[in-house]
């Protein structure tokens, strides 16, 4: 093997490793819907009493909704979700809007298409900056 090619092998291996790892997380999914209130036709879990965040499968598991609570004029929103593994979704919050916000405390829902690599047979964790939400195994 020529000397130049031998020197390039470690660099090529490093680039390949980075590319393989980048493929593991997938690209972020943007919201398909974003609205005030809770998901329509869904009973909130008892754990959401008092304004705790929650998540639920929609459309037979083809979508997931994340419900956050906050001001109605400056609602907390999820900007995107990424499949971190087959059983874990990382949710990135949208930057907080500037300005004056009302002091009410209401739900706001952001809906996403479920990332392809998320399992249908096991529990899925949704990682938010300050909490982890659990979704049961999907049906369908």
pLDDT digits 0-9 by tens, 43-72: 999 988 889 999 999 999 999 999 999 999
Model confidence at 140, pLDDT cuts 50, 70, 90, reads low
Q: How many residues would you count in the chain?
A: 140
Nearest to 115 by CA among 139, 91, 140: 91
Q: In this predicted model, what pLDDT tens digit does every residue of 3-44 receive, in sequence order?
A: 444 443 333 333 333 333 344 457 899 999 999 999 999 999
Q: Say if pTM beats, i.e. exceeds, 0.75.
A: yes
Indicate whether 139 pLDDT > 80.
no
Residue with tokens 């907390």: 76
Q: In this predicted model, what pLDDT tens digit does every residue of 90-136 receive, in sequence order?
A: 999 999 888 899 999 999 999 999 999 999 899 999 999 999 999 99
Q: Where are the beta strands (DSSP E) in the chain?
A: 33-36, 54-58, 63-70, 78-85, 88-93, 106-113, 124-127, 132-135
Q: What is the pLDDT of residue 2?
A: 52
């Amino acid at each position: 093997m020529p000397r130049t090619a031998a020197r390039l092998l470690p660099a090529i291996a490093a680039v390949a490793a980075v590319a393989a790892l980048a493929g593991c997380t997938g690209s972020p999914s943007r919201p398909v819907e974003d609205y005030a209130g809770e998901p329509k036709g869904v009973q909130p879990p008892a754990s959401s009493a008092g304004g705790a965040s929650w998540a639920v499968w929609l459309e037979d598991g083809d979508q997931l909704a994340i419900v956050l609570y906050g001001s109605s004029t400056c609602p907390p929103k999820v900007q995107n979700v990424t499949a971190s593994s087959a059983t874990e979704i990382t949710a990135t919050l949208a930057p907080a809007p500037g300005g004056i916000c009302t002091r009410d405390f209401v739900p706001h829902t952001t809906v996403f298409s479920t990332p392809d690599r998320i399992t249908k047979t096991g529990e899925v964790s949704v990682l938010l900056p300050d909490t982890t939400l659990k979704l049961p195994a999907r049906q369908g």
